[in-house]
Chain A
């Protein structure tokens, strides 16, 4: 039943799945599903906060995996990580159709607008995660710990965990999303998601303006910068192409570009 309720969740995937559970329980089609920190109330809105319940979230997730298969369930999660306004309701419709489908082929129906929305959004998120497999720049601290900071458009930091733990199994590292203040930390054994209370300013600044900082790793950054300059072919200059492949929004933590 259509309803004028805006369901508010805590911004996490678990919170969102809990909300899906509750909407199904109430048998309603909500007006919207929104993260409470992104919600702006107006005169017509009728917000209902939903508190996250890991058990309910787990039930929705396993039902999703069972109906859609793991790869499509991951795409739902990927689309969710885009944080694009309105993506929650798109996913909601996708799941509603998925659970109503008797044939078991719904996810393959690329003529359905909700399937393609989830697919295309997940692809954009995957693409940005792939870019960051390349754009992450570690600085090695004297204690052997490697640090990196990124500010991706989508909430992709958790999607980098398996790549970097497989590649650097014997070195502890930390990758921080400087905008969302979340991160992933690998202790040489396993990866954990972490939440920061404030932006680690030292790490941010040592990439450019602050050569004296303890975290700075300048000799190799300088070599890297000279290398980057040396391999450019001026006769082939094509700034437009470079900007398309490596947009300015990613330059902040790339030593070769942020000077």
Chain B
């Protein structure tokens, strides 16, 4: 068991999604386990990632040969396969000890997509129907599996995911000869359609005859929605291409999350780039940009465009956007509307709401902002406030840039840009 667990957890770890959020199950009668809408982390590994779900492959045997994957059939590695009962048992025992929020189950492709999907469904079915398990279940939807199997998976799972892995079709076909975009999007579309379908009758019932719905529990279908993952840096796409694709996935496919996974060289393969370390900085900037699209109402083409196709390694994309728009700042937070306040660097969703709320009681000033959780270190260049030095808001973008960079970088930056150091400007104002 120890050995199998090592192999099949080790093989699952490159799927970065571990979130247990978005679902609100109550504990089933006679069973154990529920889900918390916000998700719960139970531990953190040394790489700083949240451990929430028991993340396993059912097997690391695979008939495919994707260049970037450890489990591809041409790799000579130890292989293992779990029995359904082993995964079920491990999930229940771990859950009971509060080690985990639930199970994330994926698999290499054995025999056929249907055969594989059927095995995944069997685990979920047993957990839900035999053991009345109410914890979180995230299953992989195997591309090419039959719609019936995917539908059944969706009735047991809180979340389903199909990974794109490679963010452009030519590169995907080059690196994963057995895959193409259609094979990924087809199950994704199917899941989205089913989600709409399962939601519809419940709403109809509720509005027409409330007495009927009291006992009828609407059937559930992936209440926490679907997600996907893209590997960053295994293929040559720009950040702009990646964000364009992500934005489409959020809008058209209604995905809950897109995960970005910095490419880690696992296999020697001439089709793959030679890198010394995973592009963690780039990955982090993509997450920040993704965050801006999901919570700050930015469009992807406001963050990047064809002329600026890569995110700035030195600054977060919100700061970069603000520096590119000196005409919109500084802003009077006592008059600006919510959407603009949300765009001030250093202001989060919560603090933006608090600013709006506070305005009903008086003028909001810098001292209040601090207690609301605003990072004044960044925000001070973009707002007018009697307590802040006026000169700060007259800095040109290049000077803000220089002020915020660590000292060694500033020197480089200033000589490069050939502008006076920011202190000089302050002294004049």
Contact = CB atoms under 8 A, between A and B. Distances in A.
Interface in B279-333: 280
Contacts of A140: 96-97
B94 interface: yes
B407 interface: no
Contact of A167 (B34, B362, B372): B34
A148 B98 CA distance: 10
A170 B32 contact: yes
A251 B9 CA distance: 23
14 contacts: A111-B362, A111-B364, A134-B42, A134-B98, A137-B97, A223-B94, A231-B12, A232-B46, A235-B278, A236-B49, A236-B264, A238-B48, A241-B47, A256-B43
B27 interface: yes
Nearest to B14: A233
A223 B97 contact: no
Contacts of B416: none
A127 B27 CA distance: 23
B94 A231 contact: no
A48 interface: no
A146 interface: yes
Contacts of A108: 357, 360-361
Chain B: interface size category: 35 or more
A250 B173 CA distance: 46
A136 interface: yes
A168 interface: yes
Contacts of B52: 134
A110 B357 contact: yes
Given A131-B41, A171-B96, A234-B46, 5 more contacts: A138-B96, A230-B9, A232-B45, A241-B48, A246-B43
Interface residues of A, number: 57
Given A108-B360, A146-B96, A227-B54, A135 B42 contact: yes
A240 B264 CA distance: 20
A224 B13 contact: no
B213 interface: no
B206 interface: no
Describe A's contact surface by its main secondary structure. helix
A70 interface: no
B90 interface: yes
A135 to B, nearest CB: 7
B366 interface: no
Contacts of A136: 98
B98 A137 contact: yes
Contacts of A134: 40-43, 52, 98, 101
A126 to B, nearest CB: 11
Nearest to A148: B98
A221 B101 CA distance: 16
Nearest to A223: B5
B88 interface: no
Contact of B50 (A135, A221, A245): A245
A220 B44 CA distance: 18
Contact of B43 (A233, A239, A240, A254): A254
A108 B36 CA distance: 27
A203 B240 CA distance: 54
Contacts of A230: 5-6, 9-10, 13
Contacts of B130: none
B330 to A, nearest CB: 21
B97 A217 contact: yes
B208 interface: no
A51 B171 CA distance: 75
Contact of A227 (B9, B49, B371): B9
B33 interface: yes
Contacts of B354: 110
Nearest to B361: A109
Contact of A220 (B40, B55, B93, B277): B93
A234 B26 CA distance: 37
B32 A242 contact: no
Contacts of A244: 48
Contacts of B358: 109-111
A228 interface: yes
A226 interface: yes
A197 to B, nearest CB: 26
Contacts of B280: 236, 238
A130 B37 CA distance: 12
Contact of B9 (A135, A231, A238, A241): A231
Nearest to B29: A169
A214 B357 CA distance: 56
Nearest to A108: B357
A116 interface: yes
B368 interface: yes
A113 interface: yes
A227 B5 contact: yes
